[in-house]
A and B are shown apart, each in its own frame.
Chain A
């Protein structure tokens, strides 16, 4: 009966316009609708599938501002059992290493963890480094780019899919797994799930509760900073190919020029 922690993150909806704030180049959270990151929905789904097959407990863990409770509720309404929410103004602007330290400490607050499931990378920051750093900090093996996860006793088997092909991985629990887009189709929360979510326990912690000094996290002591940011240039007009009987050849020429064929 695996005890699973799923890392979830609230991100700006990819449908809305995403911006960095002018003052410190951190994410402007007010400019866009916030949602549970889709890759995390898949991570939650995978945890629920394992739980449905083998029992156990699913805890969602989120590090983020107060409004991340919405993302947490979504995960709980899908069927997770409880949540840990680390929320602290001191975390504003934290880098991946700081964030991973906080997550590692928070994972330590959950008893007897067998498996940590994360998404490969979040759709906002896209550094894709947190699962690896976390595995290192926890001293767990890491299995990345999972498209299939099987748990057999104290062993985890993962089919790893990258552009290079499929690899079959095996490790002993506890472990960190990061899942890719193709792992599953996340469920929609049922109405009963939505109604039940509110009654599920959410433990809210500050960095101090985790035994971390506020000075160790946040923009001021971050290991990386955004120096400059510019909005995406507007899409330029495309190139029109007039077909005078040689349209096909012209298109091929263009594609060759772009090194696409």
Chain B
């Protein structure tokens, strides 16, 4: 077992951090506050191959693993320029297509994931089916060779920045008549597909959308992979999602902590800089410990996933997501407190992270649902729902 990342992974982290520093938190904040996007950063990271590190080489990707992609996500976050859609487009969508797509689907979509020119949103959450995915009602009917899709989705990130959305729906099992999950790639300009921005109190350069799918006609090849393996496909995509959400959170936490440490070293109210007071230092030290632990668990989950052990990766990825969600909330809280009044001043940009840092506790899977998973799966406790 090694706790040191490969030379290449370390070099990748450095290179990505340099790119992130070139843009800087100011850039992201400015985009966020003006309702804009951080498209230039996405495009440049894509051109450099950073968004396609885990896409197979034969499709123009880097041929690395989810651990490499998570490193990219974390390092951008640590410079205050985190890219939320990394959690979705290259991690969930590209992974599912690379693992389960038909040869045509792979050659059609993977090159775009490799250089970031293709952005795909992912839609599972519905107004009446958030934590409980068994209640999904988005349904596909077979019509001729193709499909007709109907449903509603909420809180779908970055739909406006994406060419298509991978939609989790259901199809009727021909034999039993029961509904089972199925994944469809739906172009965002398909007739009958509409989306509306949800006003959020999160200051971030990406928006969330409500999606209306009304009689959207799709060709047969819009169905990803095999109709019968959708559940497995879904799980294969959700582990990378959790790993990436953890990396995103750890990155943001590192960014907040770095700012706090810098401030605590220089701000002097009495004789010594405020960092000398343990009441200031200890929460920062605690944040450091929690972030390191969350990062370590993220690396473990990624290593397991990349080794092909989906089951073990699932448990680790959930635990990492839990740990990272808590760590980033605490780190941002400590950073704001360290800054006193400045912690909430726009100039320092930390107030903007207060709501953003809560995101990882809620999405893509809530803290409570992770604890449910650990209680049942890891501890074998009985279920309440």
Q: Which A residues contact B (CB, under 8 angstroms)?
A: 73-74, 77, 188-192, 194-195, 197-198
Contacts and interface: CB of A to CB of B under 8 A. Distances in A.
A194 B19 contact: no
B19 A192 contact: no
8 contacts: A188-B18, A190-B50, A191-B53, A191-B62, A191-B64, A192-B62, A194-B15, A197-B11
B63 interface: yes
B48 interface: yes
Contacts of B18: 188
B116 to A, nearest CB: 11
Interface in B103-119: none
Interface string B304-342: 000000000000000000000000000000000000000
Contacts of A189: 11, 15, 48
B15 A77 contact: yes
A87 B12 CA distance: 25
A195 B15 contact: no
B48 to A, nearest CB: 5
Interface residues of B, number: 18
B7 A191 contact: no
Interface in B7-49: 7-8, 11-12, 14-15, 18-19, 47-49
Contacts of B68: 191
A194 B62 CA distance: 10
A192 B63 CA distance: 9
A190 B8 CA distance: 11
B19 A191 contact: no
Nearest to B19: A188
A190 B72 CA distance: 12
B52 interface: yes
Contacts of B7: 73, 198
Interface string B49-72: 110110000000011100010000
The A interface is mostly helix, strand or loop, or mixed, namely helix
Interface of B: 7-8, 11-12, 14-15, 18-19, 47-50, 52-53, 62-64, 68
Given A195-B62, A195-B63, A188 B11 contact: no
Contacts of B48: 188-191
A40 to B, nearest CB: 15
Given A188-B18, A191-B62, A195-B63, A73 B49 contact: no
B19 A73 contact: no
A74 B63 CA distance: 20
Contacts of B53: 191
B10 to A, nearest CB: 9
A64 B15 CA distance: 22
A74 B18 CA distance: 12
Most A CB within 10 A of own CB, among B7, B12, B15, B50: B15
B62 A73 contact: no
B49 A192 contact: yes
B11 A190 contact: no
A197 B8 CA distance: 9
A190 B62 CA distance: 9
Contacts of B63: 195
A99 to B, nearest CB: 26
